[in-house]
Amino acid sequence: MSSVSFSSTSLAAPLLQSLETLRYSEMTPIQEKALPLILSGKDIIAKAKTGSGKTVAFGLGLLAKLDADSFETQALVLCPTRELADQVSKAIRGLASFIPNVKLLTLCGGVPIRHQLASLDQHAPHIVVGTPGRIKDHLTRQSLKIRNVKMLILDEADRMLEMGFEAEIAFIARHINNKEKQTLLFSATYPDEIKAMSAHIQQSPVEIHVDESTNEQIEQIFYKAEDNQKPQALVALLSKYQPASTVIFCNTKYNCNQIAKFLEEQNYSVLALNGDLEQRERDQVLLRFANKSCSILVATDVAARGLDIKDLAAVIVYELSPDPEIHVHRIGRTGRAGQKGLALSFCSTEEAARAKSIEAYQNITFKWDKFNALKIPKNSTLKPSMVTLVIDGGRKSKIRASDILGALTGEAGLSGDEVGKIDIFDVRTYVAIKRTSANVALMKLQQGKIKGRKLRVRALT
C-alpha cells in the first residue's frame, strides 16, 4: 500500500472532503501513478484490475475538471456490463457528494430506453456512464450529445473488446469533436488489440504498469477431489473455515445453478449469479451479497466480471479454469487492501494439467491438503449478519440515504450501527439491517412514513 496521502495533491476542498467522508486517506499504487497524470491532462493506458482503486483515480480526475454550471456532457465512461456501470456510477456519485448540482446518468441496455430519453430531454448530464451498445443507440437517436466531452474513459477495455464492442467504441469516439479531449484506457490485460485501439483514439498516451502481486497475502490451498466428491468437499471446507462471505467459481452456468441448489438444500444462505437472471434480479443478487445479507455467491467468470466486494473472506474454485490468468483473477478477489485472503481450489484427476499450468504461471509451489467428509460438524451453516429490506421508492422520489437512516434511527428506534449499506435505485431502495433487528425495522417502516409518505416495505428472502 502506498503511503502518499490524497491531501498532497492539487485536488479541491470538496473532493478532499468526500475522500475524508469515504475514509480514503492514502492512495493505492494505481492512484499514486495515475492521478497526477490525469490531473495534468495526459492520456494514459493503465493495466489495472477490479479492486485496484482505478475508479477513484479516474473519478477524481473527471470531477476535478468538471464545470457544474455548464449543462453539457463533459465526461463519458464506457463499461462492458451494466453491473460495472452501476458500480462506477455509485463510486463517482460518492466522490461528488460535496459538489452541488452534478448530474450523472447511467445509460445501459437491459432497461427501457424511454426513461433514459425522458431524463436526457430535461437537460444534458454532466457525466454519462454506460455500455457501448446503449450509448451508440442514443447517439444514433441524437438524444445524447457528446461532441464537447472533455474526458473519455474506457474501463475494462479488454473485456469490451472480448465482447465485440470494438466497432461501437470507434463509433462513439468519432462523435467527440473536442480536439483537446483526454482519453483514459484501463485494462486488466494488455493484448495487441488494446494497443491498436489506443493508436486510434489516444494521443501520446503514458503507459502505467503497477506491480499487482496481491496474491502474496492470499493463502492458497489445493484439494484433490473428483467431480462426484466436490459437493461434500465443499460442505466440509465451508464447515471448517466458516467464512463470513464466499464466492464460489464454476466454469459453466449449469454447474453454477446445481451447486447453488445443493447448498440451499444444506440450509446455506446462497445465491447464484448467471446470465438467465433478469436485470433487476441480478441487481438484487449483487447488492445482497455486497451488503452481507447473503453469505455465499456462486458465479461464472462472465457473471462476476466487475464484481468488487470489500472484505471477501474466501474464494472457492470449484472447477479450475484452463486459463491461468483467469484463475489469478478469481482468487485476487479476496485478500484486498492489505488484508489476508483465503483461496481454496478443487482439482480432479482430469484437471491436474491445469493445476500445473497455474502453478507455473504464478511461479509458486502450491500447498495441497485433504478434506474429511466424515468430520463435517452438524449445524455448521453460517447465517448472514444482515437482512435486506426493499422500499418501493428511490431516486425518482427524491429519496436519499439520510431519509432512510432518519426513519430507522428516529421512529423505528434503531441505532446507527444496526443499519448497513443503503442502495438507492430509480424506483427502489435496498437497506441492510442487522438480522437481530430486521423484524422490528420492517414493522416500523411498514407502519411509519419515509419523507412524509407511506411506502411499501418488504424483506428479501
Rounded Cα gap, residues 173 and 375, in angstroms: 59
pLDDT of residue 216: 65
Give the residue among 306, 292, 276 at the shortest CA–CA distance from 243. 292
For cell 467428509, the residue is: 373
Query: Hey, what domains does the chain have and what are their CATH numbers?
Result: 6-209 (3.40.50.300), 214-375 (3.40.50.300), 386-459 (3.30.70.330)
pLDDT of residue 61: 97
C-alpha cell at 456: 411499501
Radius of gyration for the chain, computed over Cα atoms and rounded to the nearest angstrom: 23
Burial class (CB in 10 A: 0-12, 13-18, 19+), 256: buried
- For the CA atoms of 279, 280, 285, 289, the dihedral, rounded to the nearest 10 degrees, stands at 110
pLDDT of residue 379: 63
How do residues 185-218 score in pLDDT, each as one tens digit? 998 777 788 889 999 999 999 999 875 554 568 8
Query: In sequence order, which residues have a C-beta less than 8 Å from that of residue 457 and are 6 or more positions away?
Result: 389, 390, 391, 392, 442, 445, 446
- Per the CB < 8 A criterion, the answer to whether 354 and 323 are in contact is no
The C-alpha angle 310, 289, 384, rounded to 5 degrees, equals 100
Q: How many CA atoms lie within 13 A of 356 on its CB side?
A: 5
DSSP state of 383: P
E strand intervals along 274-427: 296-299, 314-317, 341-347, 367-369, 386-391, 419-424
Rounded Cα gap, residues 62 and 416, in angstroms: 33
Indicate the helix (H) or strand (E) that contains 457.
strand 457-459
Q: What is the DSSP pairing of strand 246-249 with strand 367-369?
A: unpaired
Sites in the chain below the pLDDT cut of 50 = 1-2, 214
Model pTM? Answer: 0.70
